[in-house]
Amino acid sequence: MKTSVIVTTYNRPGALKRVVHGLLLQTRLPDEIVIADDGSSKKTQDLVKGFIHSSGLCRITHVWQEDKGFRAARIRNLAIQNTTGEYIISLDGDCIPEAHFIEDHLKLAKKGFFFQGKRVLVEKKLSKSFAFEDTKLKMKLIRHSFKNKISNAHHIFRVPFFPVKESNKLSGIKSCNMGFFRKDLYAVNGFNQEFTGWGREDSELAVRLYNLGLKRREHPFMAICFHLWHDENDKTRMEINDGLLKEQMASKQITCKNGIMKKG
């Protein structure tokens, strides 16, 4: 199944380089990587140009929008329009994928569902040097967990035979690691661009996917990423975004007006 990975980034080229490096060393390579850039400076743009010119392993494209604050919903929609895969994985540009990340996403993909992946959190000091190669060093990761250098450490163990959980719960929705069938994203018109500033655009998308009739799949020991530390995002619009989420939950609507396509 042709697979596209959308990597969302903003002015963090050091982390982005490590994420793309990890994607290019997967047990199953993605068919394409789309860098969804929410207004980064020239340093990131030059880095991505280097990816595009040097990678013969898979197609890499760069979608950029002007920096007008946190507009993850809009840049992800632009990236979706620039994908060609039947299956689309959403990954943040500071989340380093474990070696089986793409392979596991595809094994867990199932019609009628979207997939919510898990993450291991890497603390501030360790995040400065943590790279794809470190995701393979299980004993070292265990020692990091004892020293509180990583959290959610139980996810470091890959256990494919562990049962998959299926539900329609809303808690724990995080677009830093999610997977969707392309047709489902278009059926709900993608992310709602009324959401600006950090928070809730991924939860609101999940609500509309549930309204479409989908359920959620998740697995604690497959398709894992390692989330590098960053400063807390500006949450000044959280109250507004919470209100938009509540409106959507009450409306039972499947599509949004201001999504991939503009309606009404």
Count Cβ neighbours within 10 Å for each residue of 103-114 and write b for 16 or more, e otherwise: bbbbebbeeebb
pLDDT bin (cut points 50, 70, 90) of residue 253 is very high
Give how far Cα 179 sits from Cα of 9, 116, 171, 173, 225, Å: 18, 7, 16, 12, 13
CB atoms within 10 A of CB 252: 10
Higher pLDDT, 155 or 247: 155
**Looking at the domain 3-188+215-232, which fold is it?**
Spore Coat Polysaccharide Biosynthesis Protein SpsA; Chain A (3.90.550)
Rounded Cα distance between 118 and 236, Å, is 26
The predicted model gives 139-149 an average pLDDT of: 96
> In this prediction, what percent of the chain has a pLDDT beyond 70?
99
pLDDT, tens digit, 9 for 90 and up, residues 98-141:
999 999 999 999 999 999 999 999 999 999 999 999 999 999 99
Global pTM value: 0.96
Domain ranges of the chain: 3-188+215-232
pLDDT, tens digit, 9 for 90 and up, residues 167-212:
999 999 999 999 999 999 999 999 999 888 777 899 999 999 999 9
Q: How much is the pLDDT for 9?
A: 98
The predicted model gives 63-78 an average pLDDT of: 94
The predicted model gives 22-46 an average pLDDT of: 97
Q: Pick from 176, 166, 123, 239: which is nearest to 6 by CA? A: 176
pLDDT, tens digit, 9 for 90 and up, residues 208-250:
999 999 999 999 999 999 999 998 776 778 888 888 889 898 9
264 has a pLDDT exceeding 60: no
263 has a pLDDT exceeding 80: no
Q: How much is the pLDDT for 196?
A: 83
Q: How much is the pLDDT for 257?
A: 92
Q: How much is the pLDDT for 198?
A: 75
Q: How much is the pLDDT for 199?
A: 75
Backbone angles phi, psi at 34, to 5 degrees: -115, 115
Rounded Cα distance between 92 and 12, Å, is 11
